[in-house]
Amino acid sequence: MKVVVWLAEGTWQACVDAAAEVAPPSASITLLHVTDPALAADVSDAFAGLVGRGSRGDPGAAVDAAAARAEEALLRAAAARLDRPATPVRRHGRLEREVVAAAEGADLLVVARDGPVTRLGPRSLNPPTRFVVDHAPCAVLLVWPTAPPPVDTIPPPPPHKAAPPHKAAPPHKAAPPPP
């Protein structure tokens, strides 16, 4: 069994714990972290807009370096928490696209809810995570990063609307008898 565990800041512990619980000892586990390079590019662009393009000291490189250090620390912490052999994988690009691509060929993708966790409902998934859940090429184990909220937090149903009237199908004409 091949298991991919998506590690995201703030929710990775729940994913690692779930993988440790459900993956058989013989499973091949991949600890996946994705960094979106758009963050550093946005910082660089903002800096250039504020200070001018010819200035020195672009903070984009510092953001990239800090992200790389944080990624290494997160992967080390996840491996220590899992406490069994696992392969760390670092990918760079759009989060949702990279996670789906990394799950190709996997049997299970472990993902944590990353939206508000105070009530049940679809808003407990941010758009990139919703994309991953909808497009994953394998089974998905969706876990809560904290204790799940009570069932009575489910949003109320929308107001009932009567179904539109259906037109009756035209009467079926019997085939003419054979000559």
Q: What pLDDT, in 10s, does the model give residues 124-167?
A: 899 999 999 999 999 999 999 999 999 999 888 888 777 677 77
How far apart CA 35 and CA 162 sit, in angstroms, is 47
Helical residues (DSSP H) of 37-176, grouped into ranges: 38-51, 60-82, 95-102, 127-135
User: For the whole model, what pTM was predicted?
Assistant: 0.77
pLDDT of residue 108: 98
pLDDT of residue 154: 87
Relative orientation angle of helices 95-102 and 127-135, to the nearest 10 degrees: 30
Query: Sorting pLDDT into bands at 50, 70 and 90, what band is 63?
Result: confident
pLDDT of residue 125: 93
CB 110 within 8 Å of CB 143: yes
